Amino acid sequence: MRYFTYIVLLFVVLGSVACGGAQNPMSTFDREVDQFHAHMRWGRWSMAALSLDESIRADFEGEFDERGEDFNVTEFEVEGTSWTDSSNCTVTVWMQWYQLPNTRVEEATWEEDWAYDDDDRRWVVMERRKID
């Protein structure tokens, strides 16, 4: 009986590793997009920056360092996605914010180009641009 238990445990562990290694990129997309925007919503700029391609990361961090602690995102909403293929997508995001001491709420829409990085097995923002 003990031998049988070890064999079953071995198959469970191997099955878990195999399933984790063959993860479909599409299965993590929504979670990673939401996580990026949640970091922005709560002012965790350095955490949000980890979702950006290295080529745009420094500019992003510099922008929010300049804005300082008085910059607050109040709300964001993913308005749509447009898929080029299974590993490239443009996400349209609406966002509201204010910058103290001004309490007027601003809003704008951005397009973000996301791509799946096969080496790191994660989605990365390749470019962000304000569209209005």
* Res 124 pLDDT > 50: yes
Q: How far apart are the C-alpha atoms of 50 and 57, rounded to whole Å?
A: 8
Q: For residue 8, what pLDDT band results from cuts at 50, 70 and 90?
A: very low
CATH assignment of 25-130, among 3.40.50.300, 3.10.450.50, 1.10.760.10, 1.10.10.10? 3.10.450.50
Q: What is the pLDDT of residues 52-100, one digit of tens each?
A: 999 999 999 999 889 888 999 999 999 999 999 989 999 999 999 999 9
Dist. CA 10–CA 42, nearest whole Å = 42
What is the pLDDT, as a whole number, of residue 108? 96
Q: Which of 121, 112, 120, 124 is nearest to 53 (CA)?
A: 124
